Amino acid sequence: MSVLILGATSPIARAIAGVYAEEGHAVYLAARDVAEAERIAADLKVRFGVRTGFGAFDATNLDAHAALVEQVESELGAIEVALVAFGDMGEQEESETDPSAARRVIDINYTGSVSVSELVAQKMIERSSGTIIGLSSVAGDRGRQSNYIYGSAKGAFALYLQGLRNRCFRSGVHVLTVKLGFVDTRMTYGMETAIPVADPADAALAIKRAASRGENEMYYPRFWRGIMGVIKVMPEALFKRLNL
């Protein structure tokens, strides 16, 4: 089985790549940092003896996405699992005053994710087989003043994945939406919170299990489903007064 990891240099992405490689699957690492993707690919090849590949991927360069998908299938065969793991939170204050900064956050987290997911989905639908795993965020469940540009893009991506899942169902292609809470990554570095921050390796195992079980949507850590359940039903008249 061939696995495509998009945004391969993030801690969660490289942990998931390791989980699949350990099971003997071929893995292709795609990322903006090609040198780091190459290093991860070499490491997985040495540790697990699997076929690996690597290449450049820029979420905002939509014209290059089709060529990348073709390159992966040329090197490693049909993509059976695709992980859409890239994202960029940006700076909320900058996005509020600079439209180009806001657009970049939206283009990376939504437009780029949709572009490459559609290309992979079409390949899988033609073969009636495959799994797409999309990493979204609990930030997409309800708009908050502290990160609503990023949150709205992730929320749109989660809605897109829901529609894609509906489209792909009868073709035997599965789509898993992952709504991440706090996981120890670059985005949460230095964050002060009373809520536990999850280990990327634990997240990787949970996501792989959810994909194998055919789950449609998961929160990770799992307790975030309860937290967001409360936040989502909070009356707007109260919610808008909170400093979140």
Please give the mean pLDDT across all residues of the chain: 95
Q: Is pLDDT of 35 > 70?
A: yes
Question: How far is Cα 172 from Cα 180, in angstroms, rounded to an integer?
Answer: 25
The structure's pTM equals: 0.94
Residue 197, pLDDT score? 83
Residue 244, pLDDT score? 85
Residue 192, pLDDT score? 65
Specify whether the CB–CB gap between 151 and 110 falls below 8 A: no
Better-scored residue on pLDDT, 76 or 182? 76
Name the maximum alpha-carbon separation found in the chain: 57
Q: Are strands 2-6 and 52-56 parallel, antiparallel or unpaired?
A: unpaired
Residue 196, pLDDT score? 78
pLDDT tens sequence across 176-231: 999 999 887 666 656 667 777 889 999 999 999 999 999 999 999 999 999 999 99
Q: Which residues, including other chains, have CB under 8 Å from residue 59's CB and lie 6 or more apart?
A: 6, 7, 86, 107, 108, 111, 112, 113, 115, 116
Specify whether the CB–CB gap between 109 and 87 falls below 8 A: yes
Band the pLDDT of 138: cuts 50, 70, 90. Answer: very high
Question: How far is Cα 1 from Cα 81, in angstroms, rounded to an integer?
Answer: 8
> What integer is the mean pLDDT of 4-17?
97
Residue 186, pLDDT score? 66
Assign 127 to helix, strand or coil: helix
